[in-house]
A and B are shown apart, each in its own frame.
Chain A
Amino acid sequence: MRVINIAITSMLALLLIASVAHSSSGSGDVALSYIFLDEEGNQSVNQSTFNDYEGAALSFENLRYRFTNGMNLRADFRNITLNNRNLKASLRRVGLFGVSLFHNKYRRLYDFEGGRFTKRHRTGGSIWVFPHRYVKLFGGGSFVDKSGSMTELFDATAPGTGLTTDYTQKHYNGGVQFNHMGRMLRAEIRASNYADDLNSSRDQDRLSFMATAAGPLPKYEEVSVFGGFRRFTAEYNASGSKITSNKGWGGATVALPENFALKYALVFDRSGSESDLVKTDNVSHALYASHVWPGLAQVTAGYIKDYNDDLSDEVQVSSYYFSGRVKPISELELRGEYGARSEEVKGGRRLIGDEDRQKYKFSVKYRCPRDATIAVKVDARIRENEQLGSKSEFVRPTVDLSGDFWRFASFIGGYSYARGIYTNVDGGFEFRDHTIYADIVSRECHNFTAGFGGTYYRSKRDLDVEKSWLRFSLGYRFLEDYHVELEYNVHNFDDFVYTSQFDEYYTANIVEIKIIKDLSF
């Protein structure tokens, strides 16, 4: 709690600094609202409402404050008075310094009445400063606290049993970056600590050091090289059990004549356990070649070779990658990507044996007049494992629409169909998901605004789930910089597979009345 208090106090201090300093301009909203929540059914099934609370909420949204000396203050404090608060603030002067802070909390419900839940607090901040034009010092830290109780996995038939969890994680980082005319050197240390309040034998510390560098080769500016090294350790405090990873990477990009380019990258990683002297090596080589027709098209082809070598077996992987994009006219863009990957066990044996993967994506995007956009996309993944007799296939066509379709409203919406088929060693599983979403917001007319939106999700085949969320809003502006908003949300969830004893249905009606004052300094 101390960390949270410090964070909130710091954020308020940033605001105070803003208020006493000589200002240039600023804007934002302050909103006071009340949320009425009426819910019925199994509270653990509808994730969209896990973090809705009844009560009064105070928010400062989209605050932006610019000082005459170039300093910028931003703040976004949502639902300060409720348990789902989400606070962010930053103060920065471009090219000189910056500080940012955040704090939020959220929960996940696990039982019918909502009495069993876990909650997570995240609080942190970062700071950077340029002591010299070419030198940047940076650092930060965060604090995560998770506690509560949850049901065991797949525990619908035994709702009484549960697990408790209570742990904290602290992360710190700091480093320095040198930049000079297209060259960069960066060094960073990260440390983290995990403390389990229920089982101290699981407490552990992690430490990593990373150095990276990049820049063009002297006298060969068309060749840019990059590389880096990272050492990572994780150690249990009680047992001293320790794992270590040393990773190095490097490569080059070469700009060739006639808009051709080559890229090469190498990654070497050795991960090991110091307690049992087991080590795993990973080596990757990647080579990409591309050609660009400026403003019209681009094609890229790549080959990646990976080696995975541990105590008992060695796996070699070959991957191929192709991508292309073309803009025959300025309003139309077509993209495509294809990747294939083949894993082969060269030495020893592993449970899953050889494995093949493929993935592809295609998209067509058309930008209509008046900034409306329509995009049609298809992406798919296939994984096949002959030795296990298992296979998984996904395909997902998507249509996205956005823009100002009418003079009085803006629109965003889409439809997605996702099909997944798993062929397992013992049976199979298939799902077919349909997702439709849309949001229409009117322009202000006679001081009134209105909005309508919704999401409908349906999962079929081996699952039978229906989930919907409808939103209606109405706003009225008065006294120039005040407006009142009324928002009505309806949530529904039903899993038709479950029997009545452990029924998984949920419905909620949420009404929010909000009075907003536009701030302008």
Chain B
Amino acid sequence: MTASKALCFWAMILLPTVLLALSVTASTPVSYSKDKLLETTELCLDCHDDMAESLDGSVHRVTSESSSSAISIGCIGCHDGWEVHVEDPTVDNITTGFGLSAAMQAEVCGRCHVTAHQVAMVSTDPHGNAGVACLECHTVHFNSNEKLVANDREVFCLSCHGGIATEFKRRSAHPLESGNIRCVDCHDLSGMQNPIFATGLDWTCQDCHSELSGPFLYEHPVVNAHLVEGGGCVECHQPHGSPNDRLLNQAGDGVCIQCHGIPPKHRVVHGGIGGQHTCVNCHSDIHGSFDNRMFLDPDLAFDCYCHFLSK
């Protein structure tokens, strides 16, 4: 281990510890008292009386039939500038969600909600980097969906990712359209490790396809390529949908000859078997083998000279 990597390793061990200490000892940010929230919320509702109903049933509700304890945030917890707005009520002197940038929206939500998902979004997640803000997926008012997702259809993500939507209409596809899986079954929106930083053992596919996950005695390196991006299953498969069978990138031997040429002997032996049959007719354990390093079908006979050597 080089010195720089050792430093990274220990930094990674120590950082959560330091953060834990900070989270315990940190000073509490300025917050409003319960009385202040009640008082100002009543003031707001004098003019915006429909807003109380718009938050009913959500964690942001500002009224309660039973007690005042239901009010945890009030109107002024999110809308800044209320002191001036009360005196001079115009739309310009109070903040509303859609008038804020992505970072500002994250700051407002982050006053209460610091979840793994939210931290992921504002750190290095592709959504955050592309300027996608909280309110493009979540709606606070007039919404009773879980987690305040703007639309709780299973394929809500596809309303922005239209190109991905069409991939699920191809010849072979994961069963998203039939509702059997969801986008978030594979895409972890709470992973603070940016998906493009999915270093090391990425078990996204293996969570459902354990039979192909290994570890095998003889690994096909591409399956467990520990690369930062690329490598692994997606080298050969298109996970959303593919014009080919079994989500394969290319038809026939295409995925194999992307990296491997057809060996000369394969072109001549057994009547030119390499040209007539697909690679995986014989190399059937292509994800990994417990039997031989060439990933050959264990049922094949290995008493011939070439294959004996292969084993």
Chain A residues, Cβ within 8 Å of B268: none
Chain A residues, Cβ within 8 Å of B261: 425-426
Among residues of A, the one whose C-beta sits closest to the C-beta of B281 is: A154
User: Taking the nearest CB of chain B, how far is it from the CB of A441, in angstroms?
Assistant: 14
- Contact between B19 and A400, CB atoms less than 8 A apart: no
Chain B residues, Cβ within 8 Å of A144: 208
Chain B residues, Cβ within 8 Å of A298: 101-102, 131
Chain A residues, Cβ within 8 Å of B1: 281
B166 contacts the other chain (Cβ, under 8 Å)?
A: yes
User: Taking the nearest CB of chain A, how far is it from the CB of B59, in angstroms?
Assistant: 4
User: Taking the nearest CB of chain B, how far is it from the CB of A416, in angstroms?
Assistant: 4
A457 contacts the other chain (Cβ, under 8 Å)?
A: yes
- Contact between B169 and A435, CB atoms less than 8 A apart: yes
Among residues of A, the one whose C-beta sits closest to the C-beta of B128 is: A263
B122 contacts the other chain (Cβ, under 8 Å)?
A: yes
- Contact between A273 and B215, CB atoms less than 8 A apart: yes
Determine the distance from Cα of A95 to Cα of B64 in the docked complex, in whole angstroms. 14
A9 contacts the other chain (Cβ, under 8 Å)?
A: no
- Contact between B26 and A218, CB atoms less than 8 A apart: yes
B258 contacts the other chain (Cβ, under 8 Å)?
A: yes
Chain B residues, Cβ within 8 Å of A251: 123-124
B115 contacts the other chain (Cβ, under 8 Å)?
A: yes
Interface stretch among A31-39, A443-451, A462-470?
Answer: A462-470
A84 contacts the other chain (Cβ, under 8 Å)?
A: yes
Determine the distance from Cα of A183 to Cα of B119 in the docked complex, in whole angstroms. 10
Determine the distance from Cα of A248 to Cα of B111 in the docked complex, in whole angstroms. 26
- Contact between B162 and A426, CB atoms less than 8 A apart: no
A440 contacts the other chain (Cβ, under 8 Å)?
A: no
Residues from 273 to 300 in B contacting A, C-beta threshold 8 Å: 277-278, 280-281, 284, 286, 290
Chain A residues, Cβ within 8 Å of B78: none
Determine the distance from Cα of A90 to Cα of B144 in the docked complex, in whole angstroms. 13
The 8 Å CB contact of A268, one of B12, B61, B163, B170, is B12
Chain B residues, Cβ within 8 Å of A106: 175, 178, 180
- Contact between B20 and A426, CB atoms less than 8 A apart: no
Determine the distance from Cα of A261 to Cα of B20 in the docked complex, in whole angstroms. 24
Chain A residues, Cβ within 8 Å of B199: 247, 267, 269, 282, 284, 306
- Contact between B259 and A398, CB atoms less than 8 A apart: no
Residues from 60 to 78 in B contacting A, C-beta threshold 8 Å: 61, 65-66, 70, 72
Most chain A beta-carbon contacts within 10 A, residue among B146, B173, B215:
B215
A75 contacts the other chain (Cβ, under 8 Å)?
A: no
- Contact between B258 and A390, CB atoms less than 8 A apart: yes
User: Taking the nearest CB of chain A, how far is it from the CB of B306, in angstroms?
Assistant: 20
Determine the distance from Cα of A379 to Cα of B165 in the docked complex, in whole angstroms. 13
Contact of A422 with B57 at beta-carbon distance under 8 Å, contacts A153-B280, A323-B129, A467-B171 already known: no
A320 contacts the other chain (Cβ, under 8 Å)?
A: no
- Contact between A267 and B16, CB atoms less than 8 A apart: no
B91 contacts the other chain (Cβ, under 8 Å)?
A: no
Most chain A beta-carbon contacts within 10 A, residue among B12, B244, B286:
B12
- Contact between A86 and B22, CB atoms less than 8 A apart: no
- Contact between B162 and A400, CB atoms less than 8 A apart: yes
Chain A residues, Cβ within 8 Å of B90: none
- Contact between A250 and B11, CB atoms less than 8 A apart: yes
Chain B residues, Cβ within 8 Å of A325: 130-131
Chain B residues, Cβ within 8 Å of A480: none
A160 contacts the other chain (Cβ, under 8 Å)?
A: no
- Contact between B29 and A181, CB atoms less than 8 A apart: yes
User: Taking the nearest CB of chain A, how far is it from the CB of B249, in angstroms?
Assistant: 7
Determine the distance from Cα of A343 to Cα of B225 in the docked complex, in whole angstroms. 14
Q: Interface readout for A101-116 with B: 1 if CB under 8 Å, 0 if not?
A: 0001010000000000
Most chain A beta-carbon contacts within 10 A, residue among B31, B104, B175, B194:
B175
Determine the distance from Cα of A194 to Cα of B213 in the docked complex, in whole angstroms. 11
User: Taking the nearest CB of chain B, how far is it from the CB of A192, in angstroms?
Assistant: 8
Contact of A213 with B23 at beta-carbon distance under 8 Å, contacts A286-B197, A400-B162 already known: yes
Residues from 123 to 177 in B contacting A, C-beta threshold 8 Å: 123-124, 129-131, 144, 146, 162-163, 165-167, 169-173, 175, 177
Determine the distance from Cα of A72 to Cα of B87 in the docked complex, in whole angstroms. 38
B260 contacts the other chain (Cβ, under 8 Å)?
A: yes
Chain B residues, Cβ within 8 Å of A404: none
A364 contacts the other chain (Cβ, under 8 Å)?
A: no
A317 contacts the other chain (Cβ, under 8 Å)?
A: yes
User: Taking the nearest CB of chain A, how far is it from the CB of B125, in angstroms?
Assistant: 10
Determine the distance from Cα of A178 to Cα of B115 in the docked complex, in whole angstroms. 9
A452 contacts the other chain (Cβ, under 8 Å)?
A: no
A172 contacts the other chain (Cβ, under 8 Å)?
A: no
Chain B residues, Cβ within 8 Å of A228: 16, 192
B262 contacts the other chain (Cβ, under 8 Å)?
A: yes
B100 contacts the other chain (Cβ, under 8 Å)?
A: yes
Among residues of B, the one whose C-beta sits closest to the C-beta of A351 is: B259
User: Taking the nearest CB of chain B, how far is it from the CB of A497, in angstroms?
Assistant: 9
- Contact between B200 and A245, CB atoms less than 8 A apart: yes
- Contact between A268 and B166, CB atoms less than 8 A apart: no
- Contact between A215 and B114, CB atoms less than 8 A apart: yes
Chain B residues, Cβ within 8 Å of A84: 178
Q: Beyond A106-B175, A180-B28, A388-B258: 11 further Cβ-contacts under 8 Å?
A: A66-B144, A70-B70, A215-B114, A284-B197, A307-B5, A309-B5, A317-B228, A357-B230, A392-B249, A429-B251, A455-B169
Interface positions of B (Cβ within 8 A of A): 1, 5, 8-9, 11-13, 15-16, 18-20, 22-23, 25-29, 31, 57-59, 61, 65-66, 70, 72, 99-104, 107, 110-116, 119, 122-124, 129-131, 144, 146, 162-163, 165-167, 169-173, 175, 177-180, 192-194, 196-197, 199-201, 203, 207-208, 210-211, 213, 215, 221, 226-230, 243-246, 249-252, 254, 257-262, 277-278, 280-281, 284, 286, 290
What are 16 A-B residue pairs whose CB atoms fall within 8 Å in the complex? A45-B171, A47-B172, A51-B180, A153-B246, A155-B281, A184-B115, A212-B192, A214-B192, A229-B13, A250-B16, A282-B227, A298-B101, A304-B196, A343-B227, A437-B166, A457-B171
- Identify the 10 closest CB pairs spanning chains A and B, nearest first: A248-B12, A213-B19, A282-B199, A269-B200, A227-B15, A416-B166, A184-B114, A269-B199, A154-B278, A400-B162
